[in-house]
Amino acid sequence: EVQLVESGGGLVQPGGSLRLSCAASGFTFSSYEMIWVRQAPGKGLEWISYISSSGGTRYYADSVKGRFTISRDNAKNSLYLQVNSLRAEDTAVYYCARQYRSTTSCTLDYWGQGTLVTVSS
Amino acid sequence: QSALTQPPSASGSPGQSVTISCTGTSSDVGGYNSVSWYQHYPGKAPKLMIYEVTKRPSGIPDRFSGSKSGNTASLTVSGLQAEDEADYYCSSYAGTNNWVFGGGTKLTVL
């Protein structure tokens, strides 16, 4: 059974940092691209970052570029998101998701349950 | 404001059908075959219900169906059941490993 379990969220002051983790199991983690998505209170979902299966290619949404860093450790079946210089508007539930790519399409087929980051003084 | 537009709410009585729309642009919904729908209960992991516009993952009942016309995708839930009451989100690939999502629709079974 595919499982993605996020952790690392919490209450942090503006300007602070956190490291979010996503533990993967039930599939060959090193074969899949992964992404992070967030959902602010009362808002829709927002894609924030992508990483290739090897970790060699990374993309970021403009809203987090320069402040967030995505990484992965395929030996540990884990995905990470280092979030720095946090702002109130970064308050959200952060989800990791597996990106499945076929010859004709892409699908985010499995998601974790999310970890809440609250930025407040 | 979300990139894809969904109605904030939808409702129907048990046994009825309800359709939820998801409107984007030619750069996302209209330009790719990678439109998906997710069922989400608060505090839980979003669950894939429809992918590649019309396909159902294994285990998803055929009461759930998807379609697309131009820049608008739709999710139809037929034979509504109480357990279908949840939030539903659409998503579309938008190129260069970038995804866009709808704001979510709260489906109420009356």
| Choice among A46-55, B20-29, B60-69, B96-105 with the minimum mean pLDDT | B96-105
Write out the E strands in chain A: 3-7, 10-12, 18-25, 33-39, 45-51, 58-60, 68-73, 78-83, 92-101, 106-111, 115-119
Higher pLDDT, B42 or A1: A1
Q: Do B99 and A113 touch (CB under 8 A)?
A: no
The residues near A70 (Cβ < 8 Å, ≥ 6 apart) are: A36, A49, A50, A51, A58, A60, A79, A80, A81, A82
Q: How far apart are CA A41 and CA A92, in angstroms?
A: 6
Model confidence over A69-99: pLDDT tens digits? 999 999 999 999 999 999 999 999 999 999 9
Q: Do A37 and B44 touch (CB under 8 A)?
A: no
Measured between CA atoms, the residue of chain B closest to residue A61 is B98
> Which residues of chain A lie closer than 8 angstroms to B36, CB-CB?
107-108
Measured between CA atoms, the residue of chain A closest to residue B102 is A44
**In whole numbers, what is the pLDDT of chain A averaged over residues?**
96
Establish if A27 touches chain B: CB-CB under 8 angstroms.
Answer: no
Contact (CB, 8 A) for B3 and B101: yes
Instruction: Give, in order, the Cα–Cα distances in Å from A74 to each of A32, B8, B14, B29, B83.
Output: 10, 39, 46, 32, 37
Establish if A90 touches chain B: CB-CB under 8 angstroms.
Answer: no
Measured between CA atoms, the residue of chain A closest to residue B98 is A47
Model confidence over B65-104: pLDDT tens digits? 999 999 999 999 999 999 999 999 999 998 877 899 999 9
- In SS3 terms, A30-55 reads as HHCEEEEEEECCCCCEEEEEEECCCC
Angle formed at CA A19 by CA A88 and CA B2, multiple of 5 degrees:
45
> Which residues of chain A lie closer than 8 angstroms to B102, CB-CB?
44-45
> Which residues of chain A lie closer than 8 angstroms to B103, CB-CB?
43-44
- Please check the confidence at residue B42 and state whether its pLDDT lies above 90: no
A102 band by pLDDT with thresholds 50, 70 and 90:
confident
pLDDT score for A120: 95
Strand partners, A119: A12
Angle formed at CA B40 by CA B35 and CA B43, multiple of 5 degrees:
140
Instruction: Give, in order, the Cα–Cα distances in Å from B81 to each of B56, B57, B60, B108, B109.
Output: 18, 19, 14, 10, 7
Tokens coding B80 = 């509504």
The minimum CA-CA distance between A36 and chain B, rounded to whole Å, is 10
The minimum CA-CA distance between A100 and chain B, rounded to whole Å, is 11
